[in-house]
Amino acid sequence: MIKKILSFVLTVGMVVINFGFITPQVVSAANLTSMSDVVSNLTASAVANHTITFTTPTGLASGATLILTFDNSTSIDAALTYADVDFRYASTDVTLAAAPSGATMGVVRTSATVLTFTNGTTVIAGGSVIVIKIGTNTTIGGTGTHQITNGTAGTTLLRVSGTFGDTGAMSMSIISNSIVAVSAEVLSSLSFTVSSNAIYFGNLRTAGACFAQNTNPGYVTCPTTTETEAFNMTAGTNATAGYTISVQGDTLTSGANTITALASNTASSPGSEQFGLRATATGGGGAVQAPYAAAGYAYTGTTSTPATVATASAPSATTTYSVRYLANISAVTEAGSYSTSHTYVATGNF
């Protein structure tokens, strides 16, 4: 009896050991890490682009599938194809098509909430970072035209699964309105300066040209015989159509007598009556206008009619205008004390 019991115990022990030896091992799927999904618009029912990033511990074997599943009434555009998708791993772009072929990966919308990737022959190593773009944010091989429509307001899940062996899920909040209206106002502005409010010729002469200066020389014969800047103006604006600078006033006048203003751009001619100005421009987008932009001189303004001197046709940074005045007389120019007042006006074309 004792021998039989011992024999039975030994037999049972052998059976237990044998079953333990042939029991198959169970391998669990690995969890994806560093998962994120950047959604271009989180408003309910709005179309959006997705940039999905994760690290796969296992990698993707040849022929393995990777499945993206959305929930919460999210809808993948029925016309969405591989052309609306980018797939990148370890900074390497993968060629996509409707079905796998060689190194090309297949991408198919298998339902309104499921997008299935089937790997080709390329083996993606474990530990690789995978980036999947879906929508109009794709750039590999062209720009996508179809997107994913968000579900209703609430929490939505994106699950990653497939035969490649790893799984993961992430949640996102879909809200009723993610748009924040931002408003601001830029006030219209125009800057304008004139460097001097008085300029002087001195005593005019017939023997040579005379140019105005911005300091009073007293009663001396034309102290400035070469062209010089009488004064300068600066102007700048944010007006959509720029600005206009005009001058209004008469020529040099003494009672009923005047010095003839030049009606068109004319070179200096000492010994004949001439009164005029010209200007040059530096900086900004402003420009001197005819007849004041050439090397000669002109003056077309009157006491009642302004003449355009300079303009800018668009918003302009500050432009500096250097203004030069010329006066010549003839042998029969009437004696007298000649003067005039010129009013310069800058108008913003808002």
Mean residue pLDDT across the chain:
91
pLDDT score recorded for residue 28: 52
8 Å CB contact between 53 and 36: yes
Query: Residue 9 pLDDT more than 90?
Result: no
Smallest CA-to-CA distance from 53 within 34, 28, 66, 27 is with 34
Query: CATH number of the domain at 30-174, please?
Result: 2.60.40
Query: Residue 212 pLDDT more than 90?
Result: yes
Q: Give the domain ranges of the chain.
A: 30-174, 190-348
Query: Residue 255 pLDDT more than 80?
Result: yes
Mean pLDDT of 288-304: 97
Rounded distance between C-alpha atoms, residue 302 and residue 195, angstroms: 22
Cβ partners under 8 Å of residue 264, min gap 6: 291, 298
Q: Band of the pLDDT at 179, cuts 50, 70, 90?
A: confident
Mean pLDDT of 331-348: 97
Tell me the two tokens of residue 261: 């203003």
Rounded distance between C-alpha atoms, residue 37 and residue 143, angstroms: 19
In the numeric block, the tokens 């059976």 are attached to 15
Cβ partners under 8 Å of residue 203, min gap 6: 219, 220, 221, 222
pLDDT score recorded for residue 180: 82
Q: Band of the pLDDT at 141, cuts 50, 70, 90?
A: confident
Smallest CA-to-CA distance from 29 within 2, 66, 4, 63 is with 66
Task: Name the 3-class secondary structure at 17.
Answer: helix
pLDDT score recorded for residue 34: 95
Size of the chain in residues: 350
Which amino acid would we find at residue 42? L
Rounded distance between C-alpha atoms, residue 107 and residue 67, angstroms: 10
The pTM of this model reads 0.58
Q: Which of 216-220, 239-243, 290-294, 305-309 has the lowest mean pLDDT?
A: 216-220
Q: Taking CA 321 as the corner, what is the angle to CA 316 and CA 325, rounded to the nearest 5 degrees? A: 155
pLDDT score recorded for residue 219: 87
Cβ partners under 8 Å of residue 281, min gap 6: 287, 288, 310, 319, 320, 321, 322
Tell me the two tokens of residue 342: 């010129």
Q: Band of the pLDDT at 73, cuts 50, 70, 90?
A: confident
Write out the chain in H/E/C secondary structure: CHHHHHHHHHHHHHHHHHHHHHCCCCCCCEECEEEEEEECCCECCCEECEEEEEEECCCECCCCEEEEEECCCCEECCCCCHHHEEEEECCEECCEECCCECCEEEEEEEECCEEEEECCCCCECCCEEEEEEECCCCCCCCCCCCCEECCCCEEEEEEEECCCCEEEEEEEEEECCCCCCCCCCCCCCEEEEECCCCCECCECCCCCCEECECCCCCCCECCCCCCCCCEEEEEEECCCCCEEEEEECCCCEECCEECCECCCCECCCCCCCEEEEEEEEECCCCEECCCCCCCCEECCCCCCCCEEEEEECCCEEEEEEEEEEEEECCCCCCCCCCECCCEEEEEECC
